[in-house]
Amino acid sequence: MDRLVLLKLVHWMQEEFLVSDIQFGFMVGKSSVDQMCRLMNDLESKKGKAGFLLSIDLKGGYDRVDNVKL
């Protein structure tokens, strides 16, 4: 049941453009490999130009969230 609700919610969010097309985490049919391929393509197309990459690891970032309040 929870999985069905999640799938319907994500589908609705995509239809309403509430999810960016570059969102890969927790998206059906997208993976970290897809994200890496996109990154490599972006870097290749900008060859010779300055740029930056920011990577943030949120491991444990939500461990203290009160699930009851959610």
Residue 52 lies in a domain: no
Query: What does pLDDT average to in each consecutive run of 10 residues of the chain (70 residues)?
Result: 84 86 80 88 86 78 76
Residue 22 lies in a domain: yes
State how far the alpha carbon of 25 is from the alpha carbons of 19, 34, 37, 39, 49, in Å: 11, 10, 14, 14, 28
CA angle 16/18/19 to nearest 5° reads 120
Which range marks the domain in which residue 11 is found? 2-43
Q: Which pLDDT score, from 0 to 100, does residue 61 have?
A: 72
Q: Which pLDDT score, from 0 to 100, does residue 26 have?
A: 74
Handedness of CA 43, 45, 50, 54 (dihedral sign): negative
pTM above 0.75, yes or no: no
Helix (H, G, I), strand (E, B) or coil at 15: helix
Total domains in the chain come to: 1
The first and second tokens of residue 24, run together, are 């890969």
Residue 13 lies in a domain: yes
Q: Which pLDDT score, from 0 to 100, does residue 57 have?
A: 75
